[in-house]
A and B are shown apart, each in its own frame.
Chain A
Amino acid sequence: MSAAAGQVANLAGRLRGWYRASRSAVVGGGIIVVLVILTATVSLYSPYKPDAMDFMAPLSAPSGAHLLGTDNFGRDILTRVLYGYQISLAVALGSVGFGLAVGVSLGLLAGYFGGAVDNIIMRPMDVLMAFPAIVLVVALTGFVGRDVSVMILAVAVVYVPIFARVMRGSTLEVVNELFVEGARARGASHLRLMLRHILPNAIAPVLIQASILMGIAILLESALSFIGLGTQPPDPSLGLMLSEGRSFMLQAPWMVMVPGLAISIAVLGFNLLGNGLQDLLNPASRSAAAN
């Protein structure tokens, strides 16, 4: 067997193992992987540009030429949905990535050191947490400007305290485990204890939270664009498409159904992944999956 074939067989075996350990993680992860691939390569295979209008075929129903129909300007909806996903996924990944990096570090420090450090870190988090997410995001985007990076930052600010809290909680649970004491008795430094022993043992609930918050970030981005504070026309965004399609709901229901369904599928994918991660991150099922 060639090396490549061996690797493919290996991957297939792994996937089977994961599927046994958690069907929902594999299905959810699969949805996301397919979405990411379709979205990232859309410019390579799509015959349409997202903002190319066709005044000869506005509001046309799904057909061979336009698989999911066109909107009031004759733009191909499938193409726009795929480009819209780019923004949705960028916001989801960016905000969760940023929130994770900052929130996990803060939560880990707070949980590990406790006492004054805990208070200094967590009390401002409580303040941030007290703002309703959408209000905070609306305020930030309204204040700073309407740009993808601003949206990412705004959602991340909402996410930091959530991640910090979850991480602090699970750190508190792990920090008193005997194996941490054992590692300390073997001469491990604070940094080593935190990064090598506590972080991997405490991160599981955070990753699950992260997956679910990715779904919520997609919803937030859509909501912001829907009310006009997010992506601006003519850029394609799922929320914006929903908003534009409202006026044509009776003549061209696909204009709202397609982006609506697209949002649901992405959110569903992240939620399934989040639910399934719990099983996959448990070492017993992880090693069963490896065999």
Chain B
Amino acid sequence: MNLLTVRHLTTEFRSDAQWLEAVSDVSFDLRRGEILGLVGESGCGKSTIAYSVMRLLARNARIRAGEVWLEDVNLTEADEDTLQDLRGSRLSMIFQDPMTALDSLFTVGHQVIETLQEHLNLNTAEAKERALGLLRQVGIPAAEERLNAYPYQFSGGMSQRIALAIAISCHPQVLIADEPTTALDVTIQAQILHLIRRLLVEEQGTGVLLITHDLGIVAQVCDRVAVMYAGKIVETGDVSSIFSNPLHPYTKALLNSLPSQGIARGQLENIQGRVPSLADRPPGCHFHPRCPHAKAICRDKAPPLQRVSDQQEVACVLYD
């Protein structure tokens, strides 16, 4: 069953007098109880997808086309009141920088309770009890005391646990995690990801859209993955298929650039060239100028995602 259905999403940003497409014709599904990884380089549109789904785009951005459905609710057409009800209850989000994602003037307890009371009909004592339980769930030691602490008294990892506690407080159906562990060190990273998997995916069947640029994280926790390049999904499928049998030249190149253990040290592989800026994306397949297999047709034609097996879809003329 699809929790989140994204169809032909196109989001653009205003720059001076023109609109520039950051996300072009992106479609994907997020099912119950799975983690979908969204990977790609900086600026490829990962976060723009997240903000489009949450309908929290900046003022200079707009969704030009496409639809986003949260089960039976069309998020692209929902009004602000509906969205406010959904955000934090059925649809949650956590951010990259946990230290600034919390309001520094209020105790963390206050912020957890605030969300609980906004969405659930609880009195203060009940909400406090729930908040305490949530803090314990996400592994905050001495939760009772920490409820009255201010965000600056927490480390990055602890802040992200608090953010997670707030995000899961109303049992969301969908959690969007925008680079949730990028600002954290590796051991804390593993703990947070483990928490997301255990508390949300396994216990509540939440669907998680995990945005990251770290393929290691994808391999570790995701069920499926969508690889993005310059505003488009170029390949998607389940994690084991993609890692064992990458099809799109970009995916292949990405996996090749991973430093792997056990192999003699040498020059690390990289992808020649750089990501084109929003203003001058090449015509046709956006990847063709950097692609070792590029043909003449790639300059003119941008192939759509095509199913190549039960587990995999790819957008590349090589597999037509």
Contacts and interface: CB of A to CB of B under 8 A. Distances in A.
Contacts of B153: 287
B152 A284 contact: yes
A6 B150 CA distance: 26
Contacts of A184: 56, 87
Contacts of A178: 95, 97, 100-101
Interface string A96-132: 0000000000000000001100000000000000000
Contact of A283 (B86, B97, B100, B105): B105
Task: Find the residue from A114, A182, A190 having the highest chain B CB count within 10 A.
Answer: A182
B193 to A, nearest CB: 20
A215 to B, nearest CB: 27
Interface stretch (B70-78, B111-119, B268-276): B111-119
Contacts, number: 72
Given A201-B104, A201-B105, A186 B152 contact: no
Contacts of A179: 100-104
Given A283-B150, A283-B152, A284-B152, A188 B118 contact: yes
Contacts of B59: 114-115
A183 interface: yes
A187 interface: yes
B244 to A, nearest CB: 36
Contacts of A196: 114
Contacts of B88: 185-188
B147 to A, nearest CB: 14
Given A179-B102, A201-B103, A187 B87 contact: yes
B118 A187 contact: yes
A121 B261 CA distance: 61
A189 interface: yes
B196 to A, nearest CB: 16
Nearest to A174: B103
The A interface is mostly helix, strand or loop, or mixed, namely helix
Contact of A186 (B80, B105, B115): B115
Interface string A155-199: 000000000000000000000011101111111111010001100
Contacts of B150: 283-284, 287
Given A185-B95, A188-B114, A190-B80, 16 more contacts: A179-B104, A181-B56, A182-B93, A182-B103, A186-B87, A186-B88, A186-B115, A186-B167, A187-B86, A187-B88, A189-B84, A196-B114, A197-B103, A200-B105, A201-B104, A284-B150
Interface of B: 54, 56, 59, 80, 83-89, 92-93, 95, 97, 100-106, 114-115, 118-119, 150, 152-153, 163, 166-167
30 contacts: A178-B95, A178-B100, A179-B100, A179-B101, A179-B104, A181-B95, A182-B95, A183-B103, A184-B87, A185-B54, A185-B56, A185-B92, A186-B118, A186-B166, A186-B167, A187-B84, A187-B86, A187-B89, A187-B115, A187-B119, A188-B114, A189-B84, A190-B80, A192-B118, A197-B103, A200-B106, A201-B103, A283-B104, A284-B152, A287-B153
